[in-house]
Amino acid sequence: MFDTISNKLQNAFKNLRGLGKISESNVSDSLREVRLALLEADVNFKVARDFIERVKTKSLGQEVIESVHPGQQIIKIIHDELVELLGSTNAGLNLSGNPASIMMVGLHGSGKTTSSAKLAKLLTKQGRQPVLVAADVYRPAAMDQLETLGKQLGIPVFLKKGETDVLAIAREAFDFARANNRNTLIFDTAGRLQIDEPLVQELVRLRDLVKPQEILLVLDAATGQEAVNVATHFDQALNITGSILTKLDGDARGGAALSMKAVTGKPIKLAGTGEKLEDFEPFHPERMASRILGMGDVVSLVERAAEAVDEEEAKRLEEKMRKGEFNLEDFLDQLRQMKKLGSLESIVGLLPGGSDMLKGADLNKSEKEFKRMEGMICAMTFKERRQPVILNASRRIRIAKGSGVTVTELNNMLNRFNQMQQMMKKMGKLQKMMMKKGGMPGMPGMFRK
């Protein structure tokens, strides 16, 4: 996510960290690199210029000049200004209507239909009862796509194939929502390859009829400067309430995200971070700024873990580990829990310094290794997973054939598992000893319940 700008800014920070004394000349030299990094990321040039001016003014302030670590202080100023540029705080959705309505607008190919489904899934998790409204009457495939996504999610989709009057669809959609006790309508509207007046006027008429609480502009994060032009045009015509940035997992240079709030004055509310329907999250400026500056995003990682991990299951497994009863069935559960957190790359990317760890690391190889391990365990019977000691030579040959690996690979996996199991048993015994003695020396009661 924003790898290019992140790498360039971190290179500029190497010079900033070395600044023992602050002067106008060395601050200007260091900030010139930051400015180039912003421009190369396709940030609007006026936004980049104003950003550097604000950082420079604060960097030459008395407090920074007298600071013990002036270079670090300037980096903090850049971080704070970046947060401000991205919108200061997370701007939540206004869902006050009954039913509430949301209009999804944008150009063709920006990801409106998929984002509509992702938003519906997110709102469902928050306790809402959404209905997806197929309001794109020009592209039949959009209706089909929305219908398919709705079925996947178990969320109703209101569509009228063959109907060309968007306003008629909207009126009936409201009736449908009220009749079925759905409290949120999400209108997936038509897009174009480029902005044209007939499209905009149709959206204006729909807005005037629907009176939506939210008009969200869906933008492809990789479009850079052009995204700002599109946002300005839609905002002038419809008075958008915010935007959704899609495809942040791709080759997004960051220009759209860093320019959007400054140019339109409207916040980025949500972000699409992958192709799966769950790869969608509220946009937190402070967390995003930390990611861009290579500081990680531990809060998002903890939230993701809290969602993916069942607390009762975690306690049960902890108890089994402590007693040395952890088996291959439990190990398989752990592998699947990890998969719920996302790809290894996305997990490591949320750690402080994660971007440096990712350089040269072959995470695809590690991902494949996890899949192979899962395949080996799945090829075993339930009894074999619960009692790995019964895995004799003939069973191992069968399992290896069934999972498409060699017997050597299977043996290596089982040996690693046995080592892990032994280590858990030792830790469990150590913990029991410490509990009997009342805790470790100097750390009273550490293991007491």
Q: Which of 177, 180, 182 is nearest to 128 (CA)?
A: 182
Is 4 annotated in some ligand binding site? no
Q: How far apart are CA 294 and CA 352, in angstroms?
A: 6
Is 246 annotated in some ligand binding site? yes
Is 255 annotated in some ligand binding site? no
DSSP string, 2-54: -HHHHHHHHHHHHHHHT-SS--HHHHHHHHHHHHHHHHHTT--HHHHHHHHHH
The phi and psi torsions of 196 (rounded to 5 degrees) equal -140, 150
Is 111 annotated in some ligand binding site? yes
Is 192 annotated in some ligand binding site? yes
Q: How far apart are CA 140 and CA 417, in angstroms?
A: 52
H/E segment holding residue 323:
helix 311-323
- Residue 121 in tokens: 């899934």
Q: How far apart are CA 55 and CA 30, in angstroms?
A: 11
Q: How far apart are CA 155 and CA 297, in angstroms?
A: 31
Is 445 annotated in some ligand binding site? no
Is 189 annotated in some ligand binding site? yes
Is 106 annotated in some ligand binding site? yes
Q: Residue length, the chain? A: 449
Is 241 annotated in some ligand binding site? no
Query: 3-class SS at 133?
Result: strand
Is 232 annotated in some ligand binding site? no
Is 61 annotated in some ligand binding site? no
H/E segment holding residue 346:
helix 344-349
Is 330 annotated in some ligand binding site? no
CA distances for 123 relative to 14, 120, 128, 280, 439, angstroms: 42, 5, 5, 11, 46
H/E segment holding residue 282:
strand 280-282
Is 36 annotated in some ligand binding site? no
Q: How far apart are CA 323 and CA 193, in angstroms?
A: 62
Is-contact 284 271, C-beta < 8 A? no
Is 439 annotated in some ligand binding site? no
Is 366 annotated in some ligand binding site? no
Is 355 annotated in some ligand binding site? no
Q: How far apart are CA 258 and CA 288, in angstroms?
A: 10
Is 360 annotated in some ligand binding site? no
Q: How far apart are CA 311 and CA 318, in angstroms?
A: 11
Q: Residues annotated in the binding site, as ranges?
A: 106-113, 188-192, 246-249
Q: Residues annotated in the binding site for GTP, as ranges?
A: 106-113, 188-192, 246-249
